[in-house]
Structures are given as structure tokens and as C-alpha cells.
């Protein structure tokens, strides 16, 4: 009888060890990746915005993109004004709408962002 009880306890402990090892095997990569992340949310956000700015600059400065956007009626060109105050080129529709959206946010009490250029 004692031998049977010892055997059951040994098997039970062995199964518990096995379960712990399995949990450790599956959960360690998850827990290590979250704790090993040394960058703060602020620095990750800053990196993300920097990458967005870089990509946006590339797209806005690509002449082929500008041509396609103009032909679609969604130009983001700046208005060109001559010395006499006469407009040589109207401001693009997309740029105008973006400015309106930012103004609306400002009116509604949105917190000013350092990224707003208007």
C-alpha cells in the first residue's frame, strides 16, 4: 500500500513538473519579449512619428505622386503668389481640406501639437 502511495505521489510530482516545463516553454518567449523591451512608449512613439515624417516627405516630394494627385483633383501644392499679390497657382484641394480639419480641431479645443505647421 505504501509503495502504491509513493508511486502515485511520484507520478503526480512528475506530471506537475512536466506541466511547469510546458508552461515555461510557451510563456517564457512572451514574458521575455515584454520585459526585454527597453524602449519606453514615448521613445517608440517618437520613432514611429519620425518614420511617418520621413515617408511623408518622400511622398510629398515625388513629382510623379504630385502629377497623379493633381490629375485626380487632390493636389497638395502650396499656393504660389506673385509680388503684386496675384495668385499664380491656387492651393491644392487636399492641402486646403487638411488645413480646414486642423482648424476645426483647434476650434473644438484640441491640444496643440508640435507637429502642426499651420
pLDDT category at 6 given cuts 50, 70, 90 is: very low
pLDDT digits (tens, 9 = 90+) for 83-102: 776 777 788 888 899 899 98
CB burial of 74-84 (b: ≥16 within 10 Å; e: otherwise) equals ebbbeeeeeee
Cα(60)–Cα(110) distance, integer angstroms: 26
> pLDDT, tens digit, for every residue of 23-71?
666 666 555 455 445 678 888 888 999 999 999 899 889 999 889 888 8
**Residue 60 near residue 76, CB atoms below 8 Å:** yes
Task: Give yes or no: residues 68 and 79 share one domain.
Answer: no
Task: Return mean pLDDT, the chain.
Answer: 75
Are 81 and 87 in contact, with CB atoms under 8 Å apart? yes
The three grid cell numbers given for residue 106, joined into one nine-digit string: 483647434
The pLDDT value recorded for residue 77 is 85
**DSSP secondary structure code for residue 71 in this structure:** H
- Does residue 23 form part of some domain? yes
- Whether residue 7 is found in the same domain as residue 27: yes
Residue 6 in domain? yes
Distances (CA, A) of 35 to 28, 29, 40, 44: 10, 10, 11, 15
Say which DSSP state 115 is in: T
Question: Please, which pLDDT band fits residue 74 given cuts at 50, 70 and 90?
Answer: confident
Q: Work out the average pLDDT over 11-21.
A: 59
pLDDT of residue 58: 92
* Domain count along the chain: 3
Residue 46 sits in which domain range?
A: 39-72
Amino acid at each position: 500500500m505504501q509503495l502504491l502511495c509513493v508511486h502515485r505521489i511520484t507520478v503526480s510530482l512528475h506530471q506537475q513538473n512536466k506541466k511547469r516545463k510546458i508552461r515555461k516553454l510557451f510563456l517564457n518567449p512572451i514574458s521575455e519579449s515584454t520585459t526585454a523591451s527597453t524602449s519606453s512608449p514615448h521613445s517608440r512613439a517618437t520613432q514611429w512619428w519620425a518614420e511617418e515624417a520621413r515617408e511623408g516627405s518622400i511622398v510629398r516630394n515625388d513629382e510623379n505622386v504630385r502629377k497623379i494627385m493633381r490629375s485626380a483633383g487632390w493636389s497638395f501644392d502650396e499656393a504660389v503668389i506673385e509680388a503684386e499679390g496675384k495668385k499664380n497657382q491656387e492651393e491644392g484641394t487636399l492641402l486646403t481640406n487638411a488645413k480646414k480639419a486642423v482648424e476645426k480641431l483647434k476650434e473644438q479645443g484640441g491640444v496643440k501639437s508640435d507637429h502642426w505647421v499651420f
